[in-house]
Structures are given as C-alpha cells and as structure tokens.
Structure 1
Amino acid sequence: MSAFAPLDVQLTHPAVRDLAWAIASPGLLAADHPHAAAVVPDAFCAKEVAELSQLLHSLDRDPAPLTKWLESHHSHRLGEYFERLVAFWLTHAGAQELRVGFAVRDAGRVLGEFDLLFRHPKLGGLVHWEVAVKFYLLMEPAAGLKGFLGPDCADRLVDKLDHLFGHQLLLAHTPAGRAALGGAQPRAQALVKGWLFFPLDASRPRLPELSPAAPSGWWLRYGTRELPRPAEGERRWKVLPRLQWLAPALGQEGERTLFEGDHLEHVLATHFARARTPLLVARLAPVANGLWREDSRGFVVSPDWPSAPP
C-alpha cells in the first residue's frame, strides 16, 4: 500500500493533500532501475511522511503556513509548484542551508542550475536533488520506455531520464559546477514522481525500469470510445486544471466543477470542437457528508493525438 493511501482519506485541504502526495507517493522508477542508486528511495519518503504526519494534520486544520509559502513563490507551472512543495517539506524535516534553483554561470552565461541544495542530518553532508514531476501516456506498448509520450507531445520519458541522469545530476562534476560549490561534491539524487497513463482497457505491461506502484491512470481518444463506467454505484466527474494534477481529487456535493457523466460529455464536446489540448479528468465516488473522492483518472485526447510527430 502506498504511504499516501492513509492520508488520502484523512486530509481534505488541496494544498496539504498535494504536499502529502509530493512526499509519500511512490516514485516512477523501479528499485532496480539502472540508476536506482541516484534515486531518492520510496522507503526514505515513507519514513519522512510518517515523521511529518502531525505537521500534515495540523496544516489540514490551519493551512496558512503552507498557503503563505506557496503564495510567496506563486507559479502557474506545475513543476515549479511541485518544487516549492518539496522545499517546504525539507524546511520542516531538518534540512539546513536550503537553496532553491541555484544557478551555475560561466562568463555570465547560465549553464544549468541545481534544483535543490541542502544539508540533511539523515543524508549527511551536502545534498543535491533534481526534482521532477511528470505525466506520460503509453502510446506504443511495444516500445517500452520509448513509447511514453507527454500529453502535449513535447517530451518523452526516455529523453527526460537520459537528460536527468546524463546531464542534470552531473552538474557538480563540471568545472563551472565545482567552482560554484567551492569544490564541494554533493550527494546527487533524483526525486522523480508523477503519473503514468495506459490505454483504456489495455493490460499494463511490465516494464522493469518503472515501479509497479507508481500512480497510474488511463487514456483514450475523444469520440473513439466511452468513458470508463463504474461496475456499480454513482459517480461524478471533474476536469482537473494543471495545478490540480498531483494528489487524487476531492469534490463537494453541489460544487460547480463536479459533473455527472452526461454533462461531462457536453464539456468534452465543447472543448474538442475548438481545441486539441488533452484534458485530464477524474472520476469520483461518494464517501461521506457530501464528499466525493477520486477513484480513477485519465487523459482524454483529441481524435488525432498525437497530431504531429513528437
């Protein structure tokens, strides 16, 4: 069971749920990935979220410290939002001398940056984390990692991992990186989280490089088949804006963004009549006191997705 699962049914504030998910959700990469030694392990994250449980429940009652932190570094970019959540986590988990987005320059030109630099009593010495939250759809099951494509067709999983392990995590070993750190060599690790999406009703292939515990959903081309129906019970639907892609969604009865299936079909028809942008939708089941909780999510993409060679 994911370390996030207990918190999924306990926490209700969206930003606090995202913070808990950022810490506790399983990473995308398997424990026996070729670069596993350079990946922040799920076991470390599970221990961290257990130790921060009291803080998370306190924030759920009064989220002001977290919301003020996020507002002071507001961004419309999901990756930057995720990075700020991780920085908040570290500042409350004993990290010292935390630097976010520390740029490396040579003759005034930026060569790269360290996402997070800090010292941590549990990790020892200087630590460099590269932080990534990614969402990939498996378009070509037979292609393995090469078959995973971002919803906007802008990147592939295999290319991201090549850049992460072949470039970003090696920044401290470059002459400019060494100079920026005064010769110090940090322990470099990647925190890679997100969601993987598989064709609706297709079996999930076993890919040894990817964690079988990684959060997952489905995808389908609009107009080619129906949205997945629950085996039993009533459901609602919600279209998730990009900054709500992290933790499983919640909804409240009467909320304007909580749709029945027929209305969602209208929303999708209206959207794809004028746009080709994929939409991430969540299906929610009732829990208690008018609250609905996500039990499934998936991308609905245009009929011709990917419309151009990625």
Structure 2
Amino acid sequence: MGKLPQNHSRTRQYSLNQESLTPGLEQWLQQLDHNPEALELRLSALHSTRLGIYFESLWQFYLEQQHQLVAHNLQINEAGRTLGEIDFLYRSGSNVCSPSNASKNKRPLIHAEAAVKFYLGCPNTYASLSSDEFNWHAWIGPNAKDRLSLKMRHMLDRQLTLSGQASARAKINNILGDHEIINNLQPEAILRGRFFYPFDQHMPSPSFANSNHLRGYWCYQNQLETFIDSQTSANQTKWLALERQDWFAEVETEDDTLLLDNEELIRFCLQGDHAIPRIVALMECQPEKAYWKEVLRCFVIPNHWPG
C-alpha cells in the first residue's frame, strides 16, 4: 500500500489504497460476474446519476460482501453543527470465510475517503509550478474548476483529518462498543479513475500515482484529425463514444452498429454544443471472437479549455 505525503500540521501518515487482485478476490469477482443480481439490485436503487455516488456504492457493496464494513457515510457533529462525514470505516483484510465478530475485532480499523476522478495533464501549467506543490496542480478535470491539487488538499487537510477529532473518536468508540477503544485508526485514500496525457507532448505522471494507473490521451477539438491520423493500425479499428457509466472500465462490444468510422467520429465530436468534452475509445476487431475490444481512449476537449 503506497503512502501519501504526511500532513505536517499533524503526525498522521496517510495510506493510499492500492489493493491487488488476490486469488480469493478474483474468485469472488468471477462469482459476481455469473450472479450479479445482488449488485444490480443495489445499483438500481440509486437516486443519483453522479459517478461519485455510483463509485461509493460499488465500494460499499464490496466491503459488505467481504465482511469488512463498520460504518458508511458517518456524520460527525459537534455542538449542534456538522463537522463532516466519514465515507467508510472498515476492517483491513478480507474475512469472508469466518465473518465472526471476534475475528473482525482483531483487524485494524481504517478510515477511508473514496473518490473517482478523471484528470487531464496540462504541460503549460506544469512548467510554472514550484517543486513543493509536486505536480498535482497540472492535472485538471474536464470541468476546469476541478484540479487534482484541490482534491488532494481537501482530502488530506479536511476529510482524512476528521477521524482524528475528539467528537469523531467518541462517536466511533460508541459504534465499536465498550469492549474496544480506538488505538491506531489509519486514514486511507481510495482514489480511482484515469489520467489522460496530451497525445502530442510528453508529461510526467502525477506524484505518488500508481505506476500501473489507467491512462488515456486527450486532444483539443481542432487537433482531432491529427490525433486520429496518429493512431494508424494494420488491424481493423473503429471508434466508440462512451457514456458516463462506461468511463470506469475498458469496454467491449459485439454490436458494431454502435461504432463510428473516422469521419463519423469527427462529426460526432464537433456537432451540437462544442463546449461538451467527450470520451471516445478506439476499438479493435477481434475476428476470432467476433467482438470489438478497446485498445485506447481519448478525451476530446473544447478548444478554449481550461480557460
């Protein structure tokens, strides 16, 4: 598990959740693929289309199924005012085989804040940064008001410090019961998403990013033809415009009526409201299996971004 920079106003060291795929977890995911009804029922009950809410629901389901979840969206109040909300309290380490309370209480307690983000690297911004800001300021959301630096500052300075406050500790101890007092409550960031790199310039990865993080490219609308030309391939390829619910994982499809050729892609990205960023995936035909598989994706951004 990686480490994020320490907050110097406190003595807490933050963990970065980088959970690996163990054989047990892989087996559980395969079983979920074959019997997804419980997860589908959970997701169908959501009253929001926001990706962040969807992402939190996936993590809540996972932690419940692994018998790790202690509390979710735990509101912390003090003197009649709300200090904040803890996304997750959970026990580290899966305990699917023996989910008894006795075995649960032996595992360390984690305070986790969860977020899914999609940031684009802006080289011109990076060049102007001072070294003490890492390079987070150079990673900007499709909505230019959102930056990795702002998100990390909010997460490290506000969200993950909440469980260190006395009112939060008292409420957590009340949940745990008299048999247990918090000793080493570990703050952890669950950060997922994708970083998009400029297709025509080199740019270093964000500081502390997982070396295996999901990647993509980005281009301006007026660079789209140049970007398409740069992706020549001997294999048969087409493009797929991704809906928001498809932003998380790589996509596959057997329905080639959804696919666009180069000219259709250009018309799609330039039609209507030019202020709308769009994510598209380059799909490669897999003739032996009669389906199309994603090989890369790209954010097509309005020409005025991030201005």
TM-score range, shorter chain: 0.7 to 0.9
Q: Percent identity?
A: 28
- Offset at residue 289 of structure 1 (A): 3.2
Distance change in 2, residues 1:96/1:153 (3 Å): closer
Tell me, yes or no, if the aligned pair for 1:131 and 1:190 is still in contact at 8 Å: yes
Distance change in 2, residues 1:107/1:73 (3 Å): farther
Tell me, yes or no, if the aligned pair for 1:33 and 1:208 is still in contact at 8 Å: no
- Offset at residue 34 of structure 1 (A): 2.4
Structure 1 residues 22-33: aligned runs within 5 Å: 31=2, 33=4
- Offset at residue 212 of structure 1 (A): 2.8
Tell me, yes or no, if the aligned pair for 1:280 and 1:299 is still in contact at 8 Å: yes
SS of structure 2 residue aligned to 1:224: helix
Superposition TM-score, scaled by structure 2 size: 0.80
Distance (whole Å) between structure 2 residues aligned to residue 206 and residue 238 of structure 1: 26
2:37 to 64, 68, 72: 64
1:82 to 44, 55, 59: 55
- Offset at residue 121 of structure 1 (A): 4.8
Distance (whole Å) between structure 1 residues aligned to residue 38 and residue 285 of structure 2: 30
Query: Match for residue 196 of structure 2?
Result: 197
Provide, for residues 107-151 of structure 1, a one-character-per-residue CA deviation record: whole Å limited to 9, x for no partner: 443221010112345682432111111111111342422111111
Query: Match for residue 5 of structure 2?
Result: 34
Query: Match for residue 106 of structure 1?
Result: 78
Distance change in 2, residues 1:202/1:167 (3 Å): same
Tell me, yes or no, if the aligned pair for 1:253 and 1:290 is still in contact at 8 Å: no
Superposition TM-score, scaled by structure 1 size: 0.79
Query: Match for residue 212 of structure 2?
Result: 213
More displaced stretch, 258-267 vs 291-300: 258-267
- Offset at residue 40 of structure 1 (A): 3.7
SS of structure 1 residue aligned to 2:55: helix
Distance change in 2, residues 1:108/1:237 (3 Å): farther
Distance (whole Å) between structure 2 residues aligned to residue 32 and residue 275 of structure 1: 40
- Offset at residue 207 of structure 1 (A): 4.8
SS of structure 1 residue aligned to 2:160: helix
Structure 1 residues 112-261: aligned runs within 5 Å: 112-121=84-93, 124-139=107-122, 140-142=125-127, 143=129, 144-182=135-173, 184=182, 186-205=185-204, 207-226=206-225, 227-228=227-228, 229-256=231-258, 258-261=259-262
Larger RCO (CA under 8 A, 6+ residues apart): 1
Distance change in 2, residues 1:73/1:45 (3 Å): farther
- Offset at residue 294 of structure 1 (A): 1.1
Distance change in 2, residues 1:125/1:32 (3 Å): closer
Structure 1: state its 5+ residue gaps.
1-29
Structure index of larger Rg: 2
- Offset at residue 306 of structure 1 (A): 1.6
Distance (whole Å) between structure 2 residues aligned to residue 160 and residue 117 of structure 1: 20
- Offset at residue 276 of structure 1 (A): 0.3
Tell me, yes or no, if the aligned pair for 2:242 and 2:281 is still in contact at 8 Å: yes
- Offset at residue 32 of structure 1 (A): 5.8
Tell me, yes or no, if the aligned pair for 2:116 and 2:191 is still in contact at 8 Å: yes
Distance change in 2, residues 1:96/1:215 (3 Å): closer
Query: Match for residue 9 of structure 2?
Result: none
Distance change in 2, residues 1:187/1:209 (3 Å): closer
Across the two proteins, how many residue pairs are aligned to each other?
271
Distance (whole Å) between structure 2 residues aligned to residue 70 and residue 237 of structure 1: 28
